Amino acid sequence: MALDAWRTILTACRYFLLERWEVDGERHLVRRPAESPHLLSCIAGSVTIATTDAALELTVERTAPLSASLRKIRLGGRGTLLAATVPDLWRDVVVPLRAAGYPDEAIARLGGDTSDLAQALSRGADSEC
């Protein structure tokens, strides 16, 4: 399910959130203070990940951690990344997908056979998933 023009949620449960990021040009990512670290794996092309202190080029078959302490990230190049993190299901999945117009039933299906997203949908912002 597309979050925006370049990020798509592939699956989500209490243990992980997996997104596909399509980078073509330059993209900026601002992360929240409570956000978990990410693992970024390049599956096509080449993407440079830059912070105020350093830059790293990811090419096919390379993976890099993205520390939870990093707030502003610049992505550049042309490639596809798989981004994995431990989510807050309400904040990271339910709220943005509802805002994008997806129905609750479709959001719940992202969790597969688990009931994690159904529970997050029913509990709302008080969800601890």
What pTM did the predictor assign? 0.87
What does the pLDDT look like over 9-67, one tens digit per residue?
Answer: 999 999 999 999 999 999 999 988 878 999 999 999 999 999 988 999 999 999 999 99
Cα distance between residue 98 and residue 126, in whole Å: 16
Residues 81-96 have a mean pLDDT of 95
> By percentage, how much of the chain surpasses pLDDT 70?
96
Domain ranges within the chain, ordered by starting residue: 1-115
Nearest to 56 by CA among 71, 33, 40, 43: 40
Query: 1-115 — its CATH code?
Result: 2.60.120.10
Cα distance between residue 111 and residue 57, in whole Å: 31
